[in-house]
Amino acid sequence: MAVQNNKAEGTVLLEMKHVKKSFDKSGVLKDISLKVREGQVVSIIGPSGSGKSTLLRCATLLEKMDAGELIYLGEKAAWEQDDKKGQKRCVYAPKDKLKQIRSYFGLVFQSFNLFPHYSVMKNIIDAPVCVNHVSKNEAKERAKKLLAQLGLSDKENAYPCQLSGGQQQRVSIARALALQPKILFFDEPTSALDPELTAEVLKVIRQLAQNHMTMIIVTHEMQFAKEVSDHIVFMEQGVIVEEGTPDELFSSENARVREFIGKVS
Ligand code: ADP
Ligand code: MG
């Protein structure tokens, strides 16, 4: 309990305020607000099509928001401004600021997205060396530590096609961690995996939580979300229907939340 209280008072790393996003005319995100503090694990659950991936994509600058604010460590990445016609529009910070903000977070997708023609080691050190200009030796040292931490020490020279899905996903996690992000986003990291391989990936995420990594996790793994999260957000049709501690969510009186949790767990 004491730990949760500390986390509840920690530095706000990410804040989304009144975020809206539409594709064509249909609203996919309708006034979403979210705050994530240092060391917190926030899980986002909800039916397919409810806007979870879009929320993550807006938070990670892969998709432009129509309205609202996106703030990392008190620095605005996007905010609203009146255009020439007096209509509110979302504007983004200049390129160099966005580049800095991008360095605050890492992303792990459902589909691993490793470079197939690179070895595991090259997949991990490519961005630190080419983008962040870390020396190759240092990047390799760090990668070796990460691979050991994720149980992949013997896979350094393997190619993605030689690995199981669970191993590939652990390499993607190592690759994201190699950039030393302050926040790690996961979009259904285990949905493409068999139950056995799912377990090894969840174990790694659990370890990261124990090491106080700040994480936002979209997942259908209800028991995992219950166990690992400080805060759970239930989304449906672009709206946060309910949010709270795992205990609060899992004892919710809301019929939709109860039905969803009952169905998928
Ligand atoms: P979830 O991740 O919760 O399953 P998504 O965020 O992927 O939901 O999708 C929410 C809704 O937005 C869906 O109806 C989906 O079809 C739509 N959508 C997502 N991305 C796009 C896009 N690039 N163009 C058009 N519609 C999209
Ligand atoms: Mg999705």
The number of the ligand nearest the C-alpha atom of 234 reads: 1
The number of the ligand nearest the C-alpha atom of 235 reads: 1
Return the minimum-mean-pLDDT range out of 68-77, 78-87, 211-220, 245-254: 78-87
C-alpha 54 – ligand 1 centre gap (Å): 6
For atom 1 of ligand 1, which residue has the closest CA?
A: 49
pLDDT at residue 263 in the model:
76
Residue 200 · residue 170 · CB < 8 Å: yes
pLDDT at residue 88 in the model:
85
CA-based radius of gyration for the chain: 19
- H-state helical runs in the chain: 2-8, 52-59, 95-102, 120-130, 136-149, 165-177, 195-210, 222-228, 246-250, 255-264
The mean pLDDT value for 6-27 works out to 90
pLDDT at residue 1 in the model:
42
pLDDT at residue 6 in the model:
65
| Binding site membership of 44 for ligand 1 (Cβ less than 6 Å) | no
| Most confidently modeled range among 86-90, 168-172, 192-196 | 168-172
Residue 238 · residue 52 · CB < 8 Å: no
Average pLDDT, the chain: 94
pTM for this one? 0.94
| Binding site membership of 219 for ligand 1 (Cβ less than 6 Å) | no
